[in-house]
A and B are shown apart, each in its own frame.
Chain A
């Protein structure tokens, strides 16, 4: 099995440890990754989408065209990339006029958008294509006894009508929970599970308000379930929840810290990756939690 790896800006430049985790985990589950050479930004909604729909679609279509030339679907670990690419595909496939305009632009660079390839979120992709049983068999280290809090990531869930691997009920998401349970973790719910983390456009527009959302979320997680880790499906949530805790501590808004991992980092660890490498950019070190787990296997 082969799939294109759509890396995304935040993963490539802010969290290369997450990129490493994906490159470690996928082949070990029997999925070969293609680099989609020459890929660009998805593009994210503050850029072309805020200027022009056809321009947005054209940049998205170029990324799709790279995947199509290889006959592959794409996976991404970023909800923003996922959401942008899901939308551009929807616009081009439901509006022939847009697709025509896009292809006229792509002609200039010798590419064409055909509408074959899909973008898929990495976690639901593994859930559907590999399945929980095979993942259970492949892991070296299990997470029994570990409690994790989930942060699925907005665009992983919504708009569900446009998604290929959608949840049965996006307001009660199961995929990430089952994926964590397959690794042995226990995954209790908490009241603000579906709340936004505050990353993205809000953080660049108004940090105070963005941190307010993060604080609500983290406080709910801590007071209701006090987990060892927060596990997210989205690279933006990862950055937001990892970096805001330091800030909230300085402001004396919280008096604790909870390490945050992307599911792919946790999976890579369970498959045998060096825990320090696949979490090397984490501000809040998950070492104690992960090394404790490893000690059981000594």
Chain B
């Protein structure tokens, strides 16, 4: 497994550590780093040249159109709640070439996929698409939070990113079938989902046990 970035062991990114519970202001929260990460001044000359070219390859093609006008940031819930790397800043950090800054921070994983930024961008950049492409870049460095891995594993194992095995009890009480008419009821449907997932980059990355490339679940 390659790791191109130094990962902060406390960040929870890319490692299978249990969520860290902190009790600041009494909230139990924050398995990941998203404190304002830099107090030092960065020298743009130190940035990785050509980083921006990775983004269109990961299917966000309009990043070069961005003028840094800031409309997307003004609309973004990540800004409102104090995350460090929101749409506009992710774009500029990629332009300058500081991949590690983004990858060591949880912000991109907190993106709500709300599409406010895409709605307001005057340049048609589709900043949400860039947030997703940046996640794809992070995944290829194995820098993703454990919650994301759990979601992907659940999707593969059950066909649902969110799956609650005890849901059968309240469902039954309501007179609904214990499992919904989805992959959780129809095994052949689940096999279809797994067949599809095995045909994607996910299998090459080996993030979850899929019975391919010799990676299987160890009991």
Contact present for B202 and A55 (CB under 8 Å): yes
Query: Which stretch, B62-70, B96-104, B148-156, B210-218, touches the partner chain A?
Result: B148-156
Q: What's the nearest-Cβ distance from chain B to residue A264, in Å?
A: 14
Chain A residues positioned under 8 Å from B17 (CB to CB): none
Query: Which stretch, A177-185, A197-205, A289-297, touches the partner chain B?
Result: A197-205
Interface residues of A in 166-221 (CB under 8 A from B): 170, 195-196, 198-202, 204-213, 216
Contact present for A20 and B175 (CB under 8 Å): yes
- Contacts A40-B160, A209-B82: A280 and B118 contacting too (C-beta < 8 A)? no
Interface residues of B in 146-202 (CB under 8 A from A): 147-148, 151-152, 155, 159-164, 167, 170-171, 173-176, 180-184, 186, 188-190, 192-193, 195-197, 199-202
Interface residues of A in 48-76 (CB under 8 A from B): 48-55, 58-59, 62
| Interface residue B111 (Cβ < 8 Å from any Cβ of A) | yes
Q: How many residues of B contact A (CB 8 A)?
A: 75
| Interface residue A225 (Cβ < 8 Å from any Cβ of B) | no
Chain A residues positioned under 8 Å from B36 (CB to CB): none
In whole angstroms, what is the CA distance A13 to B199 when docked?
Answer: 28
Q: What's the nearest-Cβ distance from chain B to residue A211, in Å?
A: 7
Chain A residues positioned under 8 Å from B164 (CB to CB): 13-14
Contact present for A198 and B77 (CB under 8 Å): yes
Contact present for B205 and A51 (CB under 8 Å): yes
Q: Which residue of A lies closest to B28 (CB)?
A: A207
Chain A residues positioned under 8 Å from B147 (CB to CB): 46, 204-205
Chain B residues positioned under 8 Å from A45 (CB to CB): 111, 113, 132
- Contacts A17-B174, A59-B196, A209-B82: A46 and B161 contacting too (C-beta < 8 A)? yes
Chain A interface size range: 35 or more
Chain A residues positioned under 8 Å from B118 (CB to CB): 158-159
Q: Which residue of B lies closest to A154 (CB)?
A: B114
Query: Which stretch, A105-113, A118-126, A128-136, A141-149, touches the partner chain B?
Result: A105-113
> Chain A interface mostly helix, strand, loop or mixed?
helix
Contact present for A12 and B34 (CB under 8 Å): no
Q: What's the nearest-Cβ distance from chain A to residue B194, in Å?
A: 10
| Interface residue A249 (Cβ < 8 Å from any Cβ of B) | no
Contact present for A48 and B202 (CB under 8 Å): yes
Q: What's the nearest-Cβ distance from chain A to residue B96, in Å?
A: 23
| Interface residue A277 (Cβ < 8 Å from any Cβ of B) | yes
- Contacts A40-B160, A196-B114: A206 and B30 contacting too (C-beta < 8 A)? yes
Chain A residues positioned under 8 Å from B128 (CB to CB): 159
From B81, B197, B205, A210 is in contact (CB under 8 Å) with B81
- Contacts A12-B167, A213-B80, A251-B27: A201 and B113 contacting too (C-beta < 8 A)? yes
Max chain A C-beta neighbours (<10 A), residue from B25, B119, B186, B207: B119
Interface residues of A in 1-59 (CB under 8 A from B): 7, 9-10, 12-14, 16-17, 19-20, 23, 35-41, 43-55, 58-59
| Interface residue B15 (Cβ < 8 Å from any Cβ of A) | no
Interface residues of B in 76-93 (CB under 8 A from A): 77-78, 80-83
Q: Which residue of B lies closest to A34 (CB)?
A: B181
Q: Which residue of A lies closest to B22 (CB)?
A: A208
| Interface residue B116 (Cβ < 8 Å from any Cβ of A) | yes
| Interface residue B74 (Cβ < 8 Å from any Cβ of A) | no
Q: What's the nearest-Cβ distance from chain B to residue A15, in Å?
A: 9
Q: Which residue of A lies closest to B155 (CB)?
A: A47
From B27, B83, B112, A154 is in contact (CB under 8 Å) with B112
Q: What's the nearest-Cβ distance from chain A to residue B181, in Å?
A: 4
Contact present for B113 and A200 (CB under 8 Å): yes
In whole angstroms, what is the CA distance A251 to B164 when docked?
Answer: 27
In whole angstroms, what is the CA distance A49 to B139 when docked?
Answer: 11
Contact present for B136 and A52 (CB under 8 Å): yes
Contact present for B160 and A48 (CB under 8 Å): no
| Interface residue B145 (Cβ < 8 Å from any Cβ of A) | yes
- 8 A/B residue pairs, CB under 8 Å, sorted by A: A7-B180, A40-B183, A48-B197, A51-B205, A158-B115, A159-B118, A196-B116, A210-B81
B binding-site residues for A, Cβ under 8 Å: 24-32, 34, 58-59, 77-78, 80-83, 106, 109-116, 118-119, 126, 128, 132, 135-136, 139, 144-145, 147-148, 151-152, 155, 159-164, 167, 170-171, 173-176, 180-184, 186, 188-190, 192-193, 195-197, 199-202, 205, 207
List 16 other contacts, CB 8 Å, given A196-B80, A202-B77. Answer: A7-B180, A9-B162, A14-B167, A23-B176, A37-B189, A50-B135, A50-B144, A59-B193, A109-B192, A201-B111, A202-B81, A202-B112, A205-B106, A205-B109, A213-B80, A280-B170
What are the 6 tightest A-B residue pairs by CB atom distance, in nearest-first order? A55-B200, A38-B189, A154-B114, A9-B162, A208-B29, A196-B77
